[in-house]
Structure 1
């Protein structure tokens, strides 16, 4: 495989303009965290399958004023020198946002979800939830599959206004039943099984 060559940022850190100028067809995933470009490999097919199937079930349950997509950029912090823009595996956001525009502002996001992979365990369990909480995203789901945990489970969390951190609201193995960010009740067997 040939070496990947990326353009250099315009200054000491990556700006949003530098990040937005990157080509969309990169062979790796990239994110922008506090002005640093974060590069990670593309996910395995099973990871994408779980994310796609779960996003479809969420979108089917969503009221008309919400939409769900996978792997789309969310602007978590528009700081001029240390911006944060990353793509959660699943994003539930306001239908007022034009799906042709990127990134999605964090204040329009109701739920960010990550499907944990062996190579993303630390980010999905620690780093990303902290960034989502700092941006004020009310709900975070962490999907553990049999690559990263003994059994498939979705861990649901809600932002605690008093602490600014997520608090656990449930662990779901076979079925997910929640009332927020909106009512959802669906089985999970088809999400993770082949």
Structure 2
């Protein structure tokens, strides 16, 4: 058995990686994120994760007004050393950029959604919400797997403190008026 040499491009530069490095580094695995100047490689996703992302992507597209767009698994540049990849995003349509766009900016984003995975629990529950709030993203949802069913924790930004406040926990149905009116049957994930 031969051991492959450590690729030099994976060695962090002094001060860590920066957001633009995600567009320059060769052979990065899909869905690589930059958190606190470190590259984060995502493990294969569980079926639950894929089904919930698909459900939210499809349903949010139906409810989103004309001035908003729904995107999935695109990075958001929050700072020079922060470029996470939310599972689902709602962005301003007039800031959607061209087909070569690789990352949105924080002020493009209306809603960021993270579907919690086993390997990313701490990032999805703690670090990413901190980063999104500090960057001024007004709405954040965290989706948990509770006995194989999605439970959505809805947060809204307190602009005075730049932290999120929990505004609701939704089990079978997600009915909201902000950031736009929607009524989502979360049990549809079972039928995808």
Q: Normalization by structure 2: what TM-score? A: 0.86
- Of 53, 56, 60, which residue of structure 2 is paired with 1:54? 56
- Of 32, 35, 40, which residue of structure 1 is paired with 2:34? 32
Identify, as 1 or 2, the structure richer in helix. Answer: 2
Q: Give matches, 1:69-80, under 5 Å.
A: 69-77=71-79, 79=80
User: 5+ residue gaps in structure 2?
Assistant: none
Distance 1:179 1:24 in 2: 42
1:129-166 residue CA offsets vs partner (Å, 9 max, x unmatched): 001001100000011113xx685310100000121110
Q: Normalization by structure 1: what TM-score? A: 0.85
Q: Give matches, 1:44-123, under 5 Å.
A: 44-77=46-79, 79=80, 83-96=81-94, 97-98=96-97, 100=99, 101-123=101-123
Count of equivalent residues: 186
SS of alignment partner, residue 74 of structure 1: strand
SS of alignment partner, residue 156 of structure 1: strand
Distance 2:39 2:19 in 1: 10
How far residue 116 of structure 1 moved from its aligned partner, in angstroms, is: 0.9
How far residue 5 of structure 1 moved from its aligned partner, in angstroms, is: 4.5
- Of 15, 18, 25, which residue of structure 2 is paired with 1:15? 18
Moved more, 15-24 or 129-138: 15-24
Aligned equivalent of 2:44: 42
How far residue 122 of structure 1 moved from its aligned partner, in angstroms, is: 1.1
In structure 2, relative to structure 1, the CA distance for the partners of 1:56 and 1:138 (3 Å cut) is: same
Moved more, 149-158 or 62-71: 149-158
1:74-113 residue CA offsets vs partner (Å, 9 max, x unmatched): 1111x3xxx2111101111111112521211110100001
Distance 2:151 2:12 in 1: 42
User: 5+ residue gaps in structure 1?
Assistant: none
SS of alignment partner, residue 52 of structure 1: helix
Output the aligned Cα RMSD.
Answer: 2.3
Distance 2:120 2:179 in 1: 25
Aligned equivalent of 2:131: 131
